[in-house]
């Protein structure tokens, strides 16, 4: 792995030839020790990756980045969990933007990263909560880098290589990713909520665009995303009426 110029994210880096899931490994590490904040667990061959809402995250061996960052955001109350999700999304987006200039890179609510309307990265954050604050957090990040073809079961995937036609050196990318995430995490720690909120909305996929959605009842409707609630719910306006949705309650069509 190449040199890292961060304050804490990636200063301790445990890289594995192969691993079931970097999030699962990080969970075990947290259960038995007190890892340094910013410890990164990574592999280029994750064979049982976890996705959001119980889904799986697929990644071809040797092609992509799969890593988890251990953080202790004690400055966040349990009701502020979405702020961490926003910060990590912005950091991952900033990293991708730097690799792919001249492309539209957006954050799809809650925390997917999209390039030209296709998914390039997914984020799975697992927090341990006490009644006062977030005690620890595992920010799991999967980014498609050199994978050129995907199983047909994955809806609209893409990768850095597909979008740019170039091959990327995985070892060189990890320090850059750590740096971009640290920049935004430091803003979060300084409680620059407004700045983070504004950047998130500015980069939000389909903000203020009329598009098709499907709700839990299976009803397809045209709506426009107008914002995100304090708790991280999606606010969609349909015929002048605002409706709020949790992650499992809405499908982007």
Chain positions contacting ligand BTN, by CB under 6 A: 21-23, 46, 49-52, 55, 57, 66-68, 112, 122-124, 140-142
C-beta of 252: minimal distance to ligand BTN in Å? 13
- Provide the minimum distance between the beta carbon of 23 and ligand BTN in the complex, in angstroms, as a whole number: 4
Nearest alpha carbon to residue 138 among 175, 173, 182, 88: 88
Q: Which is nearer to ligand BTN, 22 or 158 (CB)?
A: 22
> Smallest Cα–Cα separation from 201: which of 191, 193, 213?
193
Measured from the Cβ of residue 191, the count of other Cβ atoms closer than 10 Å reads: 13
Q: How far is the CB of 158 from ligand BTN (least distance, A)?
A: 13
Q: Give the nearer residue to ligand BTN in terms of CB position, either 122 or 175.
A: 122
Based on CB atoms, which residue is closest to ligand BTN, 108 or 243? Answer: 108
**CA atoms within 13 Å, Cβ hemisphere of 224:** 7
Nearer to ligand BTN, 219 or 248 (CB): 248
Q: How far is the CB of 192 from ligand BTN (least distance, A)?
A: 26
Residues 6+ positions from 12 with CB-CB distance below 8 Å: 35, 36, 38, 39, 40
Tokens of 156: 């609209």
Task: Give the integer Cα–Cα distance in Å for 41 and 4.
Answer: 15
- How far is the C-alpha of 99 from the C-alpha of 46, rounded, in Å? 23
Residue that the structure tokens 């997917």 belong to: 112
Residue nearest to ligand BTN (CB): 122
Cα–Cα distance between 33 and 30 in angstroms, integer?
5
Least Å from the CB of residue 49 to ligand BTN = 4
Contact 15, 2 (CB under 8 A): no
Based on CB atoms, which residue is closest to ligand BTN, 67 or 204? 67
Q: How far is the CB of 99 from ligand BTN (least distance, A)?
A: 18
Nearer to ligand BTN, 120 or 188 (CB): 120
What is the rounded CA–CA span in Å between residue 9 and residue 4?
9
């Amino acid at each position: 792995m190449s040199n890292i110029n961060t304050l804490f994210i990636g200063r301790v880096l445990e890289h594995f030839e192969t691993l079931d899931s970097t999030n699962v490994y990080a969970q075990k590490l947290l259960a038995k020790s007190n890892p340094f904040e910013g410890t990164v667990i990574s592999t280029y061959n994750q064979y049982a990756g976890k996705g959001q809402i119980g889904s799986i995250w697929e990644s071809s061996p040797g092609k992509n980045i799969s890593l988890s960052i251990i953080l202790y955001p004690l400055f966040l109350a349990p009701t502020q969990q979405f702020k961490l999700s926003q910060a990590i999304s912005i950091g991952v987006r900033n990293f991708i933007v730097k690799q792919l200039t001249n492309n539209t890179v957006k954050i799809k609510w809650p925390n997917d990263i999209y390039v030209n309307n296709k998914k390039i990265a997914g984020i799975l954050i697992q927090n341990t909560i006490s009644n006062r604050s977030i005690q620890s957090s595992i920010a799991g990040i999967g980014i498609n880098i050199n994978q050129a073809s995907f199983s047909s079961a994955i809806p609209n995937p893409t990768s850095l290589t597909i979008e740019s036609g170039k091959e990327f050196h995985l070892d060189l990318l990890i320090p850059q990713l750590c740096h971009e995430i640290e920049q935004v995490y430091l803003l979060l720690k300084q409680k620059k909520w407004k700045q983070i909120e504004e950047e998130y909305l500015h980069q939000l996929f389909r903000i203020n665009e009329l598009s098709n959605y499907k709700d839990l009842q299976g009803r397809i409707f045209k709506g426009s995303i107008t914002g995100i609630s304090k708790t991280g719910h999606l606010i969609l306006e349909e015929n002048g009426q605002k409706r709020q949705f949790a992650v499992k309650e809405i499908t982007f069509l």
